[in-house]
Structure formats: structure tokens, C-alpha cells
Structure 1
């Protein structure tokens, strides 16, 4: 259980859901261990947050446990989206612990926000990676374009209005071409601290996704595709604090078991920062 997530499901304002998908990782696998590690490395944190004057255990957080992953990404994402729609239907905010970044597509489908805010080292705007459309490298493209790439029916989910990728520092030529479209904003690491997120949000409902590789790998080495010249943890924290009051859902993804807990500790702290900031914004 995520420490302090002591509320019953019926009373929950926030529901932690683990999504340990680990299929498409293209360098170092291990995201299947992410949810468990995030929970474990949250244990030392104090329950009380001085900035918001809130106790985490008083914020009505429930831990649903993990939605067990299997080896068909399309089927798993559809199932996960259904589980998360149940959370939204109960007027609770889903807090998804990944798992590879692919799981964010299911969460966004369930939450149906107007805009997608993503902290990420990578653009994730490919149509496919090595022929795989259900890849961690395609997730932002899927969220923008909407639905399952194989679903051409009239019931296929629509995409979000716009996406902002904060901290991106690498991508293919195809991805940079897609990033030039009007519905995408890319903010380089050195510009994130000064970027006016509040104006960009402009009253729209958001979904916030934190790929832990947005942080410089010196701070969070336990991730699948580490990319140097990234963000300092305080910058990620400030983004989470800014976006949380506008967000209807949150995830932190791409934590694996290839470090001594640095990435998991950062992920756990950012999850708690989201809850504190969101809860404070509701009061």
C-alpha cells in the first residue's frame, strides 16, 4: 500500500493504481517493478506537509493495488482504461504508478482532459517504434491523435486539444515535424522554469504525466532510457505544484529497478506533491 493511502474506496478523493506494464522498453527493462518501488520508497516521508498544512493520510487517498499486466498491450490498455474510468465515475482522481509510459494513453482516455501536460526527456511522438504502435515512444502521439491506432470506428476516442512536453531534449526528425504542429508545445529543459504554464493552461482541464526520465539521470538513474542534460528535481516539483490544481488525473512512469531507489524516491515524492497541491486547491 502507498503510505498514508488509508481511505476506503467509497470515501476516496484520490485512488492510486499501479500499472506495471513492461513490454516495449527499448533499452533497460524493469518498469514492471516501478509501482512496488515507488510505494516502498515513499515509506520514509513524513505524513505532514508544512507548505499546505495538510497530512497525506487526511487527503482521502485509497490504494487500489496493481492492475496486473500481460503481454498484449492493446488489450491491457483497454482493460486499464476501464479500471480508471471506474475511478473517475466515483468522482476520484486517478494516481497511476507506472510501468512504462504507454500506460498514460489509457489514463488519458479514462480522464478525457482538454490538455495533456507531460514532463519527459523524449517527445514520444513517433507513429511506431520498430513497427509497434503501442510503444512508450508513441504515447504522446496517441494521446494527441486519440484512441487505439487500430480502431477506425466511429466510437474511437478523440485526442486532447493540445499537449505541452516539458524538458524534452531528443526526438527523431518525424517527431520534430509533428512537434511543429499548432497543438504541440515543446519546452527545452533550460526554459521550463520560466515557462508560463498557468497561461498555457488558461482554465482548461489537464492531465499531468511525469516520465521520471525528464529528470537528469544524475538525479534519477533508475529509468529505461536515461538522457543527460535534464531537469533538476525542484523544477519537476514546481511543475507538479503548478499543474495539480488544474488536473483531473496524474501519473508517474518509467521507474525501474536499476538504481538504489533514487528514481522511485523522486517519483513517490512527486506523487505526494500532486496530492497536497491538488487537495489544497480544492479547499
Structure 2
């Protein structure tokens, strides 16, 4: 083993120092957490995920057998409007719009709305694979219309996503009947964490692929991954943890089963390192982003 020790690698994701916004995939952080409804702290998520990603640079991806960093850039963090949700979402959309393939490190889940607005400009309504403990289709979040629990309510109503090509995986939190009914009526498919445990990874991969369609027939797809999809035993560093969630190996295996889908972007959200222990949440998030890059970037 030669070169720089992992603990001394540069601060970009996977140690990347390239800042070209026209790279095949572009990493950007969004240090925004004022739309969260429980514990804040996800504003420090981008920094923590980048730091943990240094563990992943000692060779090629284990299944793809290739170096991902050559096609990757890290352009740093987006600007936000401190204390202003609506203005921050506008800024995020404006900065995301010019980037062809954006991988975003959050930040709370509210940032997914402007990211989807930017993707829809390029691709029209996208299919979505949404990993989460929560459906995030509430009309508002305790009176805040653009809180982190309302992102997909707005995304569906604004026509940013095709709800018939949207599947939520890992859901297990309490939800009002009218919210759940509305979500299902739009055509969204929901897979609970319990179903993942009972049916197994291979069956859930089949269900996801059936909803999204193939690269040729399904159109553009977007991955939104709230780290609280994982059980708090594997991801304690998050604002709204729910027991009974996915194990890291399940999430990793599910992503590895999605090769060939036409992914056009991703967000990894709700990592709040102040509640983490030994960086296990940040490392899980960084590794899952690494998995996404392996399946989304051309060989």
C-alpha cells in the first residue's frame, strides 16, 4: 500500500480535488437544516460524509473493479440563505440547474425539492427511488409548507416526479391515514422496512425495477436516500431516527441490484454528525454514495 494515508487525504469526496462542474458526476454539499422537525444538525452532514469517504479510496470499487474518481468532481458547498427556507430552496435550484449529473450531500430532506425541480427542467418528470423511514408526503411540516416532511407532496403536485414510477423503501414511521391514502392514490408504491426483512433483497430489487422500468423503457430516474432509512443501530446520527429499519448490508445490496437504470442524480440527506458515534452514520452515507456512483457512472 503506497501513497497518502487515508486520514491525510484531501477534503473532497473520495479525496477528489477536481472542481469541474462539467464532470461526469459532480458532488456538491448543501449545509441546510432549518426545515427539520426534530433534531437539527444536518448542516454538518456534507463535511462529515466527505471526511468519512476517505476510508474508501484504497483501490477500485469492489464490484465494479474500476476507479471512480477520474470521472468525479467535488465543487464544494452550495450557497444558502441563512434562516430563510424559501430563499434557500431558490438558491439551491439555481445552483443545481446547470449541472448535468449532480450528487448532493445534505442537509435535511427539504433540499430534494429544488434538486428535483432542477432535474425536471432537463428530463421532465423523473422516476424516484426513495429510501426513508418516512413517506415525506405531508402537506406541511407543523405549519412550514416546505419542511423536510413535505418534499414529495410538493414534488408530486408540481409534476416533478412521475408518481407511478416512484417507490419508497424502508417506510415504518407512524403516518396519518389521509396522508398515506393520498400518497397511494397518486400511484406511489410503498415498501415497508418489514417487507424488506421478510421478502429479502432480491424480491425488493425486482419490485423497484418493475416500478422504475428499464433504462430503455423507464426514462430518467432519481435516487433520494434519507439516512434514517437505516436502523439507528447502523445510523444513529440523524434527526428523526426510527427503529426497525434497514441494515447497511441490505441498503448496499439493494443499490447494487439497480444497475442499468437511467439515474440522473442523487441526494444523501439527514446525516447529523453531532448524534453520531465513531462516524458510523457518516461512513454508511459515504459508502452508499460510493455505491451509487459505481452503478450510475459509465464504465
TM-score, length of structure 1 as denominator length = 0.89
Report the counterpart of residue 79 of structure 1 in structure 2: 91
1:170-223 CA distances to partner (integer Å, 9 max, x unpaired)?
222232121221421110113232222222111231110000000000000000
Contact kept, 8 Å, 2:128 with 2:212, in 1: the verdict is no
Report the counterpart of residue 107 of structure 2 in structure 1: 99
Report the counterpart of residue 277 of structure 1 in structure 2: 295
Establish whether residue 185 from structure 1 lines up as the match of residue 205 from structure 2.
no
- What is the RMSD computed on CA atoms of the aligned residues? 1.6
Contact kept, 8 Å, 1:4 with 1:61, in 2: the verdict is no
Establish whether residue 259 from structure 1 lines up as the match of residue 276 from structure 2.
yes
Report the counterpart of residue 250 of structure 1 in structure 2: 266
Report the counterpart of residue 164 of structure 1 in structure 2: 167
Contact kept, 8 Å, 1:22 with 1:32, in 2: the verdict is yes
Structure 1 residues 31 and 246: CA distance shift in structure 2, 3 A: same
Report the counterpart of residue 239 of structure 1 in structure 2: 254
Once residues 28 and 62 of structure 2 are traced to their aligned partners in structure 1, the CA distance between those partners, rounded to angstroms, is 26
Moved more, 74-83 or 207-216: 74-83
Report the counterpart of residue 205 of structure 1 in structure 2: 220
Report the counterpart of residue 50 of structure 1 in structure 2: 62
Report the counterpart of residue 173 of structure 1 in structure 2: 177
Report the counterpart of residue 119 of structure 1 in structure 2: 131
Contact kept, 8 Å, 1:47 with 1:56, in 2: the verdict is no
Report the counterpart of residue 150 of structure 1 in structure 2: none
Out of 126, 129, 135, the residue aligned to residue 147 of structure 2 is 135
3-state SS, counterpart of residue 55 of structure 2: coil
1:2, distance to aligned residue in structure 2 (A): 1.2
Structure 1: runs of 5+ lacking an equivalent? 147-157
3-state SS, counterpart of residue 234 of structure 2: coil
The number of aligned residues is: 265
Once residues 11 and 81 of structure 1 are traced to their aligned partners in structure 2, the CA distance between those partners, rounded to angstroms, is 17
Once residues 181 and 204 of structure 1 are traced to their aligned partners in structure 2, the CA distance between those partners, rounded to angstroms, is 22
Once residues 20 and 47 of structure 1 are traced to their aligned partners in structure 2, the CA distance between those partners, rounded to angstroms, is 29
Contact kept, 8 Å, 2:79 with 2:92, in 1: the verdict is no
Structure 1 residues 6 and 54: CA distance shift in structure 2, 3 A: farther
Moved more, 48-57 or 205-214: 48-57
Structure 2: runs of 5+ lacking an equivalent? 1-11
Higher helix share: 2
Establish whether residue 268 from structure 1 lines up as the match of residue 271 from structure 2.
no
Report the counterpart of residue 31 of structure 1 in structure 2: 42
TM-score, length of structure 2 as denominator length = 0.84
Out of 110, 114, 117, the residue aligned to residue 118 of structure 2 is 110
1:254, distance to aligned residue in structure 2 (A): 0.1
Structure 1 residues 230 and 110: CA distance shift in structure 2, 3 A: same
1:253, distance to aligned residue in structure 2 (A): 0.2
1:128-180 CA distances to partner (integer Å, 9 max, x unpaired)?
1221111011011111112xxxxxxxxxxx33111211111122223212122
- After TM superposition, what 4+ stretches of structure 1 lie above 3 angstroms from structure 2? 242-245
